[in-house]
């Protein structure tokens, strides 16, 4: 079990705060919430608004209290210690921390770089290594190159999908889609390599 997490925020400044969070679990269950700004969350960037398209007025009208959203995340993910992956873990970790802190929660979820999940999806390729000595090292390098190529292909394929961008739910689902695409293509590579060769 794992999940992919994405946040949208008021800005990219040190005073920024989360305005939307979304997550997508391994079974493709996607959840997202607009977050009503807490009393002390006042900072706002017009440039960030132009990117995600969420207005501050909309947050006050449609957003759920930060405390409720934080408790939802704990129930759905953090209390089960589900590994969480993000494509911007440094920023998203800050916003997750602010969300939990606002709710008075001590639980701290750790967001990992999504590249770790992609690397794990490539691990079955290791089964293709059958050499020893010098041949072993050459095959390891081949597998590393193949993994890099497959991750790039999966990322490009997702970038070309038609979907909403810069919204937490769809962006989290996009990370899941890339991971699943990668799993499928790694399985195909392993299957093809295991087929008997014609003499």
Q: Quick check: 198 pLDDT over 60?
A: no
Q: How many domains does the chain have?
A: 2
Domain-terminating residue out of 93, 115, 137:
115
Domain-terminating residue out of 63, 82, 115:
115
Confidence class of residue 183 from pLDDT cuts 50, 70 and 90?
very high
Q: Long-range contacts made by residues 86-90, C-beta under 8 angstroms, separation at least 24?
A: 86/4, 86/5, 86/6, 86/111, 86/112, 86/113, 86/114, 86/175, 87/6, 87/113, 87/114, 87/171, 87/175, 89/113, 89/114
**CATH number of the domain within which 60 lies:** 3.30.420.10
53 inside domain: yes
State the pLDDT at residue 132.
Answer: 62
Q: Quick check: 43 pLDDT over 60?
A: yes
State the pLDDT at residue 138.
Answer: 81
Q: Quick check: 199 pLDDT over 50?
A: no
Contact 182, 121 (CB under 8 A): yes
165 with 85, same domain: the answer is no
Percent residues over pLDDT 90 in the chain: 81
17 with 109, same domain: the answer is yes
134 with 185, same domain: the answer is yes
17 with 104, same domain: the answer is yes
Contact 35, 58 (CB under 8 A): no
CA 21, CA 32: separation in Å to the nearest integer?
6
Average confidence score pLDDT of the chain: 93
124 with 166, same domain: the answer is yes
Chain segment 98-148, per-residue pLDDT in tens:
999 999 997 678 999 999 999 999 999 988 877 666 667 788 888 999 999
12 with 100, same domain: the answer is yes
Among 29-38, 77-86, 175-184, the range scoring the smallest mean pLDDT is 77-86
Q: Quick check: 32 pLDDT over 50?
A: yes
164 with 106, same domain: the answer is no
The whole domain housing 25 covers 3-115
Chain segment 9-20, per-residue pLDDT in tens:
999 999 999 999
166 inside domain: yes
95 with 22, same domain: the answer is yes
CA 35, CA 82: separation in Å to the nearest integer?
22
57 with 108, same domain: the answer is yes
43 inside domain: yes
State the pLDDT at residue 6.
Answer: 98
Domain-terminating residue out of 115, 147, 172:
115
199 inside domain: no
Phi and psi (nearest 5°) for 172?
Answer: -65, -40
86 with 134, same domain: the answer is no
14 with 79, same domain: the answer is yes
7 with 76, same domain: the answer is yes
């Amino acid at each position: 079990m794992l999940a992919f997490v994405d946040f949208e925020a008021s800005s990219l400044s040190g005073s920024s705060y989360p305005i939307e969070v979304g997550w997508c679990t391994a079974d493709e269950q996607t959840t997202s919430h607009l977050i009503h700004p807490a009393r002390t969350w006042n900072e706002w960037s017009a440039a960030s608004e132009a990117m995600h398209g969420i207005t501050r007025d909309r947050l006050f009208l449609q957003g759920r209290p930060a405390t409720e959203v934080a408790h939802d995340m704990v129930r759905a993910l953090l209390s089960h210690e589900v590994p969480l992956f993000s494509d911007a873990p440094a920023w998203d970790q800050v916003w997750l921390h602010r969300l939990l802190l606002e709710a008075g929660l001590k639980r701290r979820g750790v967001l990992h770089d999504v590249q770790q999940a992609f690397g794990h999806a490539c691990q079955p390729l290791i089964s293709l290594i059958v050499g020893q000595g010098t041949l072993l090292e050459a095959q390891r390098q081949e597998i590393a190159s193949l993994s890099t190529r497959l991750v790039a292909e999966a990322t490009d394929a997702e970038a070309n999908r038609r979907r909403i961008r810069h919204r937490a739910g769809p962006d989290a689902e996009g990370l899941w889609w890339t991971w699943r695409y990668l799993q499928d293509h790694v399985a195909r590579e392993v299957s093809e390599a295991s087929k008997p060769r014609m003499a």
